[in-house]
């Protein structure tokens, strides 16, 4: 039985005051039978936001990390640095990192491996561009991202990874994949995982949907049994919206 997960990705938004105010508002309202909840805030806020979350059910996440333990990597952050701040989850290979910062599947693979070694849960992002979907290339693109980002990751390690399927054309655009598109594509990812890691292990891997998730579409998206939660950008910055996403109603 996979535990649903709702992860908020603040991206490069908020400051100490607005961030603390936001987590105070949401942490009171999360717990009990809710899904697991993670807040991935910018690096400079991890310490303070982590303190605010210390008595809550919400876990702390980061948005990136480097694959080496230390060294001459100006501007980078190591897994050990994240651990010192209480980070439990880290987003890896977000499409903004792939597109704007030229991260490759090989770099992403190194980061996933390092996160696993350090027992930080990697949220590995994959997804196709609009022209790739229109050109019916979605499955080829996802296969390539999965094969290369998960290279040399064994079955036991794979069960600890969270995969976030984020069609790039749906990120921050207000254009959500239809529940059928999300379900079909996540079903395809589950099938790929089954081929690679076997049925029982692939059933343990959580797969999230990301891309313009809002309170009014989360229930439909969560209808598919293969969808285990959401990676939420814009709506994670608004307390009421994020809480309503966490408290989504099963519409089956
Ligand atoms: O990490 C989150 C995704 O990029 C989705 O962002 P969004 O909900 O603003 O579309």
Q: Exactly one of 94, 103, 128, 132 is catalytic; which is it? A: 94
Tokens read off for 106: 């090989």
Does 76 fall in a domain? Answer: yes
Task: For residues 39 and 76, give the distance between their C-alpha atoms in angstroms, rounded to a whole number.
Answer: 20
Tokens read off for 191: 């099938």
Does 62 fall in a domain? Answer: yes
Task: Summarize pLDDT for 166-203 with one digit per residue, the tens.
Answer: 999 998 887 888 999 999 999 999 999 999 999 999 99
Binding residues: 9-11, 172, 212, 233-234
Query: Residues 6 or more apart from 238 whose CB is under 8 A from it?
Result: none
For residue 96, indicate whether it is catalytic.
no
Task: Summarize pLDDT for 5-37 with one digit per residue, the tens.
Answer: 999 999 999 999 999 999 999 998 998 888 999
Measured by CA distance, the residue closest to atom 8 of ligand 1 is 233
Task: Summarize pLDDT for 197-230 with one digit per residue, the tens.
Answer: 999 999 999 999 999 999 999 999 999 999 999 9
**Angle at alpha carbon of residue 36, lines to 48 and 10, rounded to 5°:** 45
Task: For residues 45 and 199, give the distance between their C-alpha atoms in angstroms, rounded to a whole number.
Answer: 40
Does 252 fall in a domain? Answer: no
Task: For residues 129 and 157, give the distance between their C-alpha atoms in angstroms, rounded to a whole number.
Answer: 28
Q: Is residue 147's pLDDT more than 90?
A: yes
Kindly give the number of the ligand 1 atom that is closest to the alpha carbon of 171.
10
For residue 166, indicate whether it is catalytic.
yes
Does 89 fall in a domain? Answer: yes
Q: How many angstroms separate the alpha carbon of residue 99 from the centre of ligand 1?
A: 14
Tokens read off for 81: 């640095």
Residue 42: the pLDDT is: 98
CATH number of domain containing 194: 3.20.20.70
Q: Is residue 252's pLDDT more than 60?
A: no
Query: Residues 6 or more apart from 86 whose CB is under 8 A from it?
Result: 46, 50, 54, 60
Ligand 1 pocket mutation pick from 6, 10, 11, 89 by most atoms within 8 angstroms of CB: 11
- Output the ligand 1 site: residues, CB below 6 A: 9, 94, 166, 171-172, 210-213, 231-235
Give mean pLDDT, residues 150-157. Answer: 97
**Average pLDDT of the chain, as a whole number:** 96
In the chain, the percentage of residues whose pLDDT exceeds 70 is 99
Kindly give the number of the ligand 1 atom that is closest to the alpha carbon of 234.
9
- Cα radius of gyration rounded to whole Å, the chain: 17
Binding residues for substrate: 9-11, 172, 212, 233-234
Q: How many domains does the chain have?
A: 1
Does 251 fall in a domain? Answer: no
CB count within 10 Å of CB 93 equals: 26
**Residues 142, 163 contacting (CB under 8 angstroms):** no
Task: For residues 164 and 107, give the distance between their C-alpha atoms in angstroms, rounded to a whole number.
Answer: 17
Tokens read off for 118: 């350090």
Residue 221 is inside which H or E element, if any?
Answer: helix 218-221
Structural domain span for residue 178 = 5-246
């Amino acid at each position: 039985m996979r535990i649903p997960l709702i992860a908020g990705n603040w991206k490069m938004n908020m400051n100490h005051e607005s961030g603390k105010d936001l987590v105070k508002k949401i942490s009171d309202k999360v717990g009990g039978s809710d899904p697991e909840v993670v807040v991935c805030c910018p690096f400079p806020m991890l310490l303070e936001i982590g303190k605010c979350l210390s008595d809550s059910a919400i876990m702390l996440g980061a948005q990136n990390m480097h694959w080496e333990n230390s060294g001459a990597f100006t501007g980078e952050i190591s897994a050990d640095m994240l651990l010192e701040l209480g980070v439990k989850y880290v987003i890896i290979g977000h499409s903004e990192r792939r597109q704007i910062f030229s991260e490759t599947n090989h770099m992403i693979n190194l980061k996933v491996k390092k996160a696993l070694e350090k027992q930080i849960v990697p949220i590995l992002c994959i997804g196709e561009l609009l022209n790739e979907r229109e050109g019916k290339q979605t499955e080829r693109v996802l296969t390539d991202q999965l094969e290369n980002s998960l290279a040399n990751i064994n079955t036991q390690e794979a069960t600890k990874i969270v995969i976030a399927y984020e069609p790039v054309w749906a990120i921050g655009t207000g254009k959500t994949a239809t529940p059928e598109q999300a379900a079909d594509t996540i079903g395809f990812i589950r099938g790929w995982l089954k081929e690679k890691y076997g049925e029982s292990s692939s059933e343990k891997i959580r797969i999230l949907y990301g891309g313009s998730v809002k309170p009014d579409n989360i229930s439909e998206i969560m209808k598919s049994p293969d969808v285990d939660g959401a990676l939420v950008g814009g709506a994670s910055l608004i307390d009421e919206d994020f809480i309503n996403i966490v408290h989504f109603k099963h519409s089956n």
